[in-house]
Chains A and B, each alone.
Chain A
Amino acid sequence: DGGITQSPKYLFRKEGQNVTLSCEQNLNHDAMYWYRQDPGQGLRLIYYSQIVNDFQKGDIAEGYSVSREKKESFPLTVTSAQKNPTAFYLCASSIVGQANEKLFFGSGTQLSVL
């Protein structure tokens, strides 16, 4: 079955530590996205990528970094500069990253601070 796989499902970060969230898709989609979800709030865009080796900042990119070395992979690193990292992180993809396309989501990673 095609889809988006996020791992791990739960992740704990210590003070001053960088952590990396994995996102892999086998849908052959060009565009990939990272969203952050906080309780009672909508999804906020962190980074997006429309093509391999290229990505752009979203609305809340500070304290995060990404790479897009392969079409199927879009890992997100939460750096120590992100002072409030506790949230549910969702990876998504779409076919070509054009307007009006629907998004396909992974099942998410819950990140907590120890």
Chain B
Amino acid sequence: GDSVTQMEGPVTLSEEAFLTINCTYTATGYPSLFWYVQYPGEGLQLLLKATKADDKGSNKGFEATYRKETTSFHLEKGSVQVSDSAVYFCALSGTGGFKTIFGAGTRLFVKA
């Protein structure tokens, strides 16, 4: 079945460091890909999405490019801030019905 695999956390970075969180997927068909973010004690909120190959999603300095050849959707940010500390979930949908499939999440800690 369809699945999403993310790099394990936690990831600990200093402020202004470069961030990469790896995400790969297995899916039949052509899914849409998402990154959601969860701040402590809260629900998830959409960070960015891409709906077809080579699309780049971007928001708040975060970017991810839909790479069909490598089945990847890695999240990047050039300079992280303490306020970026959260759990980041990669997800896909649109391959079978409307169900969204989530990765296990990657916790990010950013130190001042």
Q: List 20 A-B contacts (CB under 8 A).
A: A41-B105, A42-B89, A43-B89, A43-B102, A45-B99, A48-B99, A92-B43, A92-B44, A97-B98, A99-B94, A99-B95, A99-B98, A100-B51, A100-B94, A102-B34, A103-B36, A103-B44, A103-B46, A103-B100, A107-B43
Q: How far is the CA of A45 from the CA of B91 in the complex (A)?
A: 13
Residues A101 and B34 in contact, CB atoms below 8 Å apart: no
Total A-B residue pairs with C-beta atoms closer than 8 Å? 58
Q: Bound state CA distance, A107 and B97, in angstroms?
A: 26
A61 to chain B, nearest CB (A): 13
Contact flag A100-B104 (CB < 8 Å), given A45-B99, A106-B43:
no
A108 at the interface (CB under 8 A from B): yes
Q: Which among B34, B36, B46, B100 has the greatest number of chain A C-beta atoms within 10 A?
A: B100
Q: Which positions 92-112 of chain B face chain A at CB distance < 8 Å? A: 93-95, 97-105
Once the chains bind, are A40 and B104 in contact (CB under 8 Å)?
yes
Residues in chain B within 8 A of chain A (CB atoms): 4, 32, 34, 36, 41-46, 49, 51, 89, 93-95, 97-105
Q: Nearest 4 pairs between A and B by C-beta?
A: A105-B43, A99-B94, A42-B102, A100-B32
Number of interface residues of A (CB under 8 A): 25
Output the nearest chain A residue to B102 by Cβ-Cβ distance.
A42
Could you tell me which A residues sit within 8 Å of B by CB distance?
4, 6, 31, 40-43, 45, 48, 50, 58, 90, 92, 94, 97-103, 105-108
**Chain A interface SS verdict (over half):** loop
Taking CB atoms, residues of chain A closer than 8 Å to B103 are 42
Q: Closest chain B residue to A9 by CB distance?
A: B41
The reply to whether B98 and A98 form a contact with Cβ atoms under 8 Å apart is yes
Q: Would you call B32 and A99 a contact (CB within 8 A)?
A: yes
Closest CB of chain B to A59's CB: distance in Å?
A: 9
Counting chain A CB atoms within 10 Å of each CB, the highest count among B44, B49, B95, B104 belongs to B44
**Which residues of B lie under 8 Å from residue A94 when comparing CB positions?**
98
Asked if residues B93 and A105 are in contact (CB atoms below 8 Å), the reply is no
- Given known pairs A42-B104, A100-B51, the reply for A105 and B4 (CB within 8 Å) is no
